[in-house]
Amino acid sequence: MNKIVLFMLSFLLFFTACAPAPTATPAPLGSTSASVETVDAFYRKINEAQTEADVLNAFNLLTTLAMGNPKIVPLGDASKFQSKWWKVNVSYKLYDCGANVVLVEETLYPRSDSSPVTPTPPHFLRFDLVQNEEGILINNITRADAPGEGCVLVLER
């Protein structure tokens, strides 16, 4: 009996060791949350801006609370927001963390062709979003650590 149990354990250990390691599966296309879509729209509006005034299309995705946050909108002045974001293009990875929270790995590049193409080091931001009568809007943006468990990479641009 002991030999049979030993054989069965060896057999199970062998096949368990041969099994492939689990890998992260990206979310299927079209399955991103409305919060992720809002943050993606925020960055797309910045990257696709043809004029400095176009950057206000991203600004309009902020709640009035976020618009008054000096860390998001310097001095609460929309023109300073425009000036800051008009100077850059952004590459980003979006992580859906559920409950209207999206983590972003953001890298900034100069928008101007005359500027040397030296990106900023990537950094993480936490976007907190809320649902209101206008839809889902960005309520707060703060620095964050790298995504942990419960956050799934859903988009990279």
**pLDDT 10s digits, 96-120:** 999 999 999 999 999 876 555 677 8
Secondary structure string (H, E, C) spanning 30-53: CCCCHHHHHHHHHHHHHHCCCCHH
State the amino acid at position 128 in one-letter form: D
**For residues 29 and 37, what is the distance between their CA atoms, to the nearest angstrom?**
12
Per-residue pLDDT of the chain (157 residues; tens, 9 = 90+): 444 434 444 443 343 344 333 333 444 445 689 999 999 999 999 999 999 999 999 999 999 999 999 889 987 889 999 999 999 999 999 999 999 999 999 999 998 765 556 778 899 999 999 999 889 999 999 999 999 999 999 999 9
List the domain boundaries for the chain: 31-156
| Whole-structure pTM value | 0.78
**pLDDT the model gives residue 75:** 78
Tell me the C-alpha to C-alpha distance, in Å, between residue 10 and each of 2, 7, 20, 21. Answer: 12, 5, 18, 19
CATH number for domain 31-156, candidates 3.10.450, 1.10.3470, 3.40.50, 3.30.300: 3.10.450
**pLDDT 10s digits, 13-32:** 343 344 333 333 444 445 68
